[in-house]
Amino acid sequence: MDALILQVLNGLDKGGAYALIALGLTLVFGTLGVVNFAHGALFMLGAFCAVTFKKIITLEQIVLSKTELSPWGTPLEIRTPYAQQWFGDFGNVLIEYSVPFSLLLAIPVMLFIGIAMERGIIKHFYKRPHAEQILVTFGLAIVLQEIVKAFFGANPNPQPIPQIFMGAADLGVMVGMAENVITYPKWRLVYLFFSLGVIAAVFAFLRFTTFGLVVRAGMSDRETVSMLGINIDKRFTIMFGIAAVVAGLAGVMYTPILPPDYTLGMDFLVLSFIVVVVGGMGSLPGAVLAGFMLGVVQSLASMTEVKDIIPGIDQIIIYLIAVIILLVRPRGLLGKRGVMEN
């Protein structure tokens, strides 16, 4: 039982990442009607925003000490990060919390990348077949991936967890269970709540703002909205930017869990596509639900008890679910009737 709860928790934070990427994918598909294979690359770019931020913030000034000598007899090098010199204690805080602070960097950067991508390339593909959209965004994903590789190399770049989120939280105690039964890494909890927060923010944005109202109207009937004199294309472009930001933020916060390298995007892309399809193309709640569900199912399947019964199930369970859902209920869990159903 305890193991079960633990696995569900384990699945939830992974599910959070899936849900965030799938949410962005669905937004793009629902608004622009574009199947975006470069969305995983956006997740990866977000993660590298964190890497860049940390690199900038930890730039060091090297001063040779006049009096002290290092063990090798050469003058001792004193390294002090510029951030520390300029901002004093706040600089130290910046370095310590580099991952959360890089969210601030990631938002404008991802918004810019998203809008540039939409205006630059994807705009020309609205009316083309889905196959060509897949192809061009796939090519784009390769390009983005290789650019990142050219700048950051092929090795993973581990990112630090802030001190107070290190270690594990004893969740069992909080609900009155014995100690050390259900412990869970604090950062993963942070990630879970962060993803829930972002999801809530996106839904609130769509639900409670005039902008969101127009976008939702455009999603259900684009032509009528544009006939009312609203420039719906412009709003959809911004939605693409927001989808890129969501993917990017998911990537930033995921860096302490999984050190990012340039293939990160591709690894998540296939999975998040399956999440979208399982949830139902174009359904936002479906994407979120399917994201968390598949995350949990995946981690349940990796329990040894399950693996003993069906060996190898943990490797393929997600794909298996996707196949079954596509065959039995092609519009996905919460997909609208008639949207891409055949």
Partner 1 sequence: MFNIPKKDAITFVLFAIVVLTMPIWLTPFGASYPALLQKFAIYALLAVGYNLLFGLTGYLSFGHAAFLGVGSYAAVWSFKLLSMNPVLALSFAILFSGIFALAIGYISLRRSGIYFSILTLAFAQMSYKLAYSVLSPITHGETGLQLTLQDPRAIDLMFIERGSSLPTSNLFGISMSGYSGFYFTAIILLIGFFIAQKITSSPFGMMLKGIKSNENRMNYTGFNTKPYMLTVFVISGIYAGVAGGLLSITDPLAGAERMQWTASGELVLMTILGGVGTLIGPVIGAWLIKYFENIFSAWNESVLHGFFAFLPDGFEDIVVTISSKFVGEGWHLTLGLMFVLVVVFLPGGIMEGARRIGTMFKNNKDKKTKQSSDSEKGEG
Position among 35, 94, 105, 219 found at the interface with partner 1 (CB under 8 A): 35
DSSP H helices, 209-282, are 210-220, 222-227, 232-254, 264-279
How many amino acids of this chain bind partner 1 (CB under 8 A)?
Answer: 42
153 versus 197: smaller Cβ distance to partner 1: 153
Residue with token string 């598949």:
294
CA 209 to chain centre: 24
The 3-state DSSP class for residue 22 equals: helix
CB neighbourhood size of 209 (10 A): 11
The widest CA-to-CA distance across the chain, in whole angstroms, is 78
Letter string b/e over residues 218-231, b meaning 16 or more CB atoms within 10 A of that residue's CB: bbeebeebeeeeee
Helix, strand, or coil (residue 340): coil
Smallest gap from Cβ 202 to partner 1, in A, equals 23
For position 320 contacting partner 1 by CB under 8 A, the verdict is yes
- Residues 273 to 312 in contact with partner 1, rule: CB under 8 A: 273-274, 277, 281, 311-312
Strand segments (E) across 88-171: 168-170
| Least distance from partner 1 to the Cβ atom of residue 251, Å | 20
Q: Is residue 22 a contact residue for partner 1 (CB under 8 A)?
A: no
Of 78, 104, 150, 201, which lies in the binding site for partner 1, with binding defined by CB under 8 A? 150
211 contributes a contact to partner 1 by CB under 8 A:
no
**Closest CB to partner 1 among residues 64, 143:** 143
136 binds partner 1, rule: CB under 8 A: yes
Report the interface residues with partner 1, using CB under 8 A: 35, 121, 124, 128-132, 134-136, 138-143, 145-147, 149-150, 154, 266, 270, 273-274, 277, 281, 311-312, 315-316, 319-320, 322-323, 326-327, 330, 340, 342
